[in-house]
Each structure stands twice: as structure tokens, then as C-alpha cells.
Structure 1
Amino acid sequence: MNIRGLPTRGSLVFAGLIVALLALPNLATAFFVNFVMTQTLVLGLAAATIVFLAKYGGMTSLAQLLLFGVAGFMFGNAALEAGARGLNLGWPPWAAVGFAILVTTAVAFVLGAIASRTAGIYFLMLTLVYGVIGFFVFAQIVEISGPGGITSIQRPDLLGPPVRLYYASLLLSVLAYLGFRALGRTAFGLALQGSRDDPIRMASLGFNVPLHRTLAFTLAGFVAGLAGLLNVWWNGQIDPASISIGPTLILLIIAVIGGISSFEGAWAGAFVYVLVLTYLRDLPLIDRIGVTEARFNTVIGVIVLAIMVLSPEGLTGLAQRLRRRLGRRSTIAPDPPTGGSVAVRKPAKEFGGTRP
């Protein structure tokens, strides 16, 4: 029985998780918070843009890591002064932030406008081409990067201590999660989902399907740009190899591990990926069975294969199935007592009679 005005079980779990994450710096080691969890939140935020496009728009994009990287490159070009690689504009950090987000959003709008009239495998391949082109642009044009990338990137003074970057990543992740979920209930979100299910019918009803897809791609690019800024502040440098085909596929794998139809899955997949990346080499006797750091991608592939076999919906699908199973068990009535004065009486209608 649901009582209006009272929080649901899901909202209580979400609130409890946020409280735990807020308190985490006081409970865990600095390495776990500043390396594992910050990286998890950043990658989860980027993967959430893949989930958003796939869940609401039916668009599986491989261009999100490119937009993630564009923001990092543009910040480095704008913030660093003479003597570093790039444009060396020497702008104040927050002006560089605005410049990076503006350029990233504009690039996302242009790329989205081009891709908005394609669907399915054609959209996937076109966004893959975007990623390849972006890699060569930054690798070959030394004025904005070159093969060595941009190094010595400093975060703004406001985010100086590493724990502040963790809290900034947590804040943006929560806002993106709530914003994406709320957007699905708006007129724009419902029209986007209608375009996903039946674009021809939506167009016949007067909806501009390409425009809706373009705006969705632009919004996803904006959020990916925010994640890219967090990443370049966390990492301190960025190079074209970080947006090559390998990392692009890794970001998609993160979304698949968690569940590409669930926003929670973006961060769940990122957490599993970062845990394996960080602690695999420290497992006892792991090298005795041939698992080394050089074979990390093989381990990730085995994990993805296992999850897809057990649950095509990813980790969130497994969690939902477990919750439903536990819910069914809790609703099973206990056996009636075999002795005593309590009698179980069936309704008279079952026997064709009437109640006395």
C-alpha cells in the first residue's frame, strides 16, 4: 500500500547512499576516496550520457568519450600560460571552464545535427567515426595538442584539496542522475522516447524528430564535458591516446556492465571497472594463473561475458531480479497452525453458497 507524501523505498535507499558517500572521506582511506571513488564518479558521469541517449533516444553513441576529451583539451589550451603545449591563452581558470564547456556543447550540437537523421547501426558507426576523427585531430594538430598531449594542468584553487574534487564529482553525479530521470517525465523527454519507439508516427504527428535527437545529443555532450573537466583536473594531463578507440569502447563497456537501460548502472559499472583496474594486480597468487596487468582487457572481457550471460540488463538487472525474488518470498503466507483453537475458514463463495 502506497501512501501519498511518504518517501518510497527507492528514495530512502538513494538518500542513504548519498549520506554514506558524503561521510566516506571520514570512513575510508585517502587513496580509496581520492583515487577509486573519484575516478568511479567521473567515469560514471560520462557513462550516464551513453545510458541517457540509449534509454530515452534509442541512440547508442560512441562519441561521448570524444566530447569528454574535447572539454579537457580546451581547458588545457585556455588555462595554461606560455611555455606549455597548446594555445597557451593563459585565461583565469573559471573563464577556461566556461570556454571548454561552450566549445564542447557547440561540437556536440554540430555532431548531433549530422547524426540525428541516422539510427541503429548507422548511428553507432557514425559516432565511432567521430571518435576516430577526433583522435587524429588532437594527435596531428600540434597547436592544440599533438601526440604528447597537454600536461601540468592545475585545477582551480577552489578544488585544490583532492577531497574537494571528490565532493564536486559527487555533486555533479547526483545532479546529472536526478536531472536525467526528471527529464524523462517532461514533454521533451516523452517526445524523445516516442521518437525512439516510432519516429515515423511521431513525425506524422508534427514532432521534429531530428531536432529532438540533436538537442538530446547536445545535452549529453554538455554533461560529458563536465565529466571531462573533472577528469583533467583529477589526472593533471590529457593526451590523444586517452580518447582513442580503446578507451572509447571501455566507456561503453562500463555502461553495459552496469546496465545500459539504467542510470544507476553507469556508476555501478564504473565502480566495478575501477575496482578491477586498481586491485586486480594485488590479489594473492593472481599471477600464478596467468592474469597480469598486460591481460587486464581480457579480464574485463570475461567479466562482461559473464554478466551478459547471467543478466543482459547488467548489474542493475541482477539486483532487480534479486529484489523481486526476495519480495515474492516475503509475501508467501505462513502455513496455518495445525493445532489449537484457531481455525482457517474459506469464503462460502468458493463452495457455491452465501455467507451466513
Structure 2
Amino acid sequence: MNARALLTRHNLLLAALVVFLLVLPSLATPFFVNFVMTQTLILGLAAATIVFLAKYGGMTSLAQYLLFGIAGFMFGNAAQEAGARGLNLGWHPWASVGFAIVVTTAVAFVLGAIASRTSGIYFLMLTLVYAVIGYFVFAQIVEISGPGGITSIQRPDVLGPPVRLYYAGIVLSSLAYLGFRAVGRTAFGLALQGVRDDPTRMASLGFNVMLHRTLAFTLAGFVAGLGGLLNVWWNGQIDPASISIGPTLILLIIAVIGGIASFEGAWLGAFVYVLVFTYLRDLPLIDRIGITEARFNTVIGVIVLAIMVLSPEGLTGIVRRLRRRPSARPDTTPEPTTGGSPSVRKTEKEFGVTRS
């Protein structure tokens, strides 16, 4: 089966999955749809931003959950009226949505501009510092986070019934998935992949390495902000503890479980995590032991370890191996020896660069 046929089959399977999700409310219980699946879509949307930065930019970010939370805090401050916790601006819900997205995207741009000067482990640690600083900012400045958080947050009327929030999650997840894949095929996406593989060579070709990384981080922050809005509408409240280091690392774990090199893995990892978090206590004997937060984290750690041993590429890697035909032969075509990584050569071809 050639690559085009595989791509067509892959797209058909994804389209069938979307159709199944659309009809799921008529097949499953309201609890499964409005709790398990809605939370899966929200966390998957946030985890997809980690995958985007790692897959195309070679940047593993721990700041995505902070941006996720900033959107929630900004919406709560803008939409809540007098008497509530926070700034109590009392704006129209959709004006509050615009305010939250603009602030989150602007913060992502600033943080990305700083982090773009680093790479590898230094980028990872710097984004971890962002997450720590963000937590303490909201924990200590009660004027914007409220004493104990912002509560009684109402979502827009059009999203009143819980199932509508589920459908909104499907729409935004689908748009993010298609959008991220489309970006990877644009001139910007190809240049970003070249920066990922060989930033020195890309800089010598005239590409602004830091600008590409900054813009990628900004785009990821924008999508994380959308997920943060869904999350605050789903929870109805937000507090500093919800953006602490624990949830920040959980989001990375979700991406790793599903496969950090695959967009599908973001939602697959989120689904597995939510399933374990929701139903683990109902398993035989487990309910007698009692699952505390520490024990639950231990179980998640064991699951991640088992998946990494079986497949460093996460669950999507396991799925690919199961779908692969035993008779399929690996491609033995040698790589060109003209120098540079495949993505850099593809970028050069896209922009009409000739080698000396």
C-alpha cells in the first residue's frame, strides 16, 4: 500500500471517529459524555500544543498549562460581576472571551521570545520556570486570582447545556488538529522543521530562527488559551492550585502516554488518563485499598513506565505496529549524501535555495 493510500485511509478513519463522537451522546450515558469525553477533549487540546512544539519545532514546553490557566483566569476576571472574586469587570461573555485570548496570546509571545534563545534541556527548564513563576503570581496576587480562586463562572448562554460544551470540544479539537497539520505543510512549517533539525544552517540561509520559534510558541499559546476557556467553563471555577506543578507535569505525561510525535496521541493520552483517573477506584480490590493522590500518581507512573518500555513512541507507536503488515519491508533507499537533514533540504527546495 503506497503512502497516498495510507494517508487516505488514515483520513477516512479520523473522519469516521469524528462522526462517532458526534453521535456518542445518543449512545453513552450523560456522565461518560459530559465528564469523561469532555475532559478528554479539553486536556487533549492542551496536550496537542505540546506535541506541535515538539514535533515541528523540537521544543518541549512545560508552560502550556500555565497559558491554559491564564485564559481561564482572564475570562473569570472579565466576565464576573461586582461581588465576585477577582477584578469583577462584568463584561459581556464574548468580550471576555476575546480579552482572555488576546492576553493569553500576548503572554505566549513574550514568553516565547525569551525562550526562543534557548533549546533542548535549557528550553525545557526555562518553561518549567515559567510554570513556577506563574503559579506564585496567581497564588500571591489575590486581586486577579481572588482569595481561594474565582468561583461561579458562567459560560456563554449558547453553551448552556453540558452536551454543547462537549460539541464545542469536538469542533475546537478538530480545528486544532487540522490546523496544526496544515501549518506543518506551509512555508512557515517547513522552515520551522528545518530550524528544529539544523538551526545553524537555517540561520546561514537567512531564516530568523528565534522568530520562527517565537511564532510557533505564540500559536501554541493561542490554542492552549482556547482549551483553557473550555476548561473554566466546564469546571465553573479556577484557582492557583489548578495551575501548579502537578497539573503542569500531568499535561506532559498525557502527551508522552499518547506519543509526543503524534497529534492523535494528545487526545489518546488524555482519554487514557481520564479513564484511569475516573474508574481506577471502581476496580476490584482497588476500592478496598483506597486511592490517595500519592497512590494515584504512583499508578500513573507505572502506566507511563510500562508504555515507554513497550513503545518509546507512546500508544500511537503501538497502534502503528499493530496496523503494520508483517510482509511490509522497510524502505532501504539510502539518504542523499548532499548534506543537511531531509527537512532542511525540503525547505531549501520550497524557497528555491541552491547549494554552492
TM-score by length of 1: 0.90
Distance of 2:280 and 2:64 partners within structure 1:
27
User: 1:292 is aligned with what amino acid?
Assistant: I
Q: Are 2:40 and 1:40 equivalent residues in the alignment?
A: yes
User: Which of 320, 325, 328 is residue 326 of structure 2 equivalent to?
Assistant: 328
Distance of 2:327 and 2:19 partners within structure 1:
30
Distance of 1:284 and 1:201 partners within structure 2:
57
Indicate conservation of the 8 Å contact 2:85/2:147, yes or no. Answer: no
Indicate conservation of the 8 Å contact 1:281/1:293, yes or no. Answer: no
Q: What is residue 119 of structure 1 aligned with on the other side?
A: 119
Q: Are 2:303 and 1:303 equivalent residues in the alignment?
A: yes
Distance of 1:279 and 1:299 partners within structure 2:
13
Q: Deviations over 1:161-220 (max 9, x none)?
A: 000000000000000001101111110000000000000000000000000000000000
Per-residue deviation, 1:12: 1.2
Q: What is residue 202 of structure 1 aligned with on the other side?
A: 202
| Ranges in structure 1 where 5+ consecutive residues have no aligned partner | 332-356
Q: What is residue 21 of structure 1 aligned with on the other side?
A: 21
User: Secondary structure of 1:184's match?
Assistant: helix
User: 2:270 is aligned with what amino acid?
Assistant: A
Per-residue deviation, 1:272: 0.3
Identity over aligned residues, as a percent? 85
Q: What is residue 57 of structure 1 aligned with on the other side?
A: 57
Q: Are 2:94 and 1:94 equivalent residues in the alignment?
A: yes
Distance of 1:3 and 1:142 partners within structure 2:
55
User: 2:164 is aligned with what amino acid?
Assistant: R
Per-residue deviation, 1:11: 1.2
Distance of 1:60 and 1:46 partners within structure 2:
13
Distance of 1:191 and 1:221 partners within structure 2:
20
Q: Are 2:232 and 1:228 equivalent residues in the alignment?
A: no
User: 2:204 is aligned with what amino acid?
Assistant: S
Per-residue deviation, 1:287: 3.8
Q: Show the 5 A alignment for 1:65-84.
A: 65-84=65-84
Per-residue deviation, 1:4: 7.6
Q: What is residue 348 of structure 1 aligned with on the other side?
A: none
User: 2:200 is aligned with what amino acid?
Assistant: I
Distance of 1:83 and 1:65 partners within structure 2:
28
Distance of 2:3 and 2:307 partners within structure 1:
36
Q: What is residue 188 of structure 1 aligned with on the other side?
A: 188
Q: 1:316 to 1:4 in 2, by over 3 A?
A: closer
Distance of 2:79 and 2:296 partners within structure 1:
34
Q: 1:65 to 1:209 in 2, by over 3 A?
A: same
Q: What is residue 267 of structure 1 aligned with on the other side?
A: 267
| Ranges in structure 2 where 5+ consecutive residues have no aligned partner | 330-356
Indicate conservation of the 8 Å contact 1:140/1:147, yes or no. Answer: no
RMSD value, Cα: 1.6
Superposed structure 1 runs of 4+ greater than 3 Å apart: 1-7
Q: What is residue 343 of structure 1 aligned with on the other side?
A: none
Distance of 1:86 and 1:291 partners within structure 2:
36
Distance of 1:128 and 1:147 partners within structure 2:
25
Q: What is residue 31 of structure 2 aligned with on the other side?
A: 31
Per-residue deviation, 1:286: 1.5
Distance of 2:187 and 2:119 partners within structure 1:
22
TM-score by length of 2: 0.90
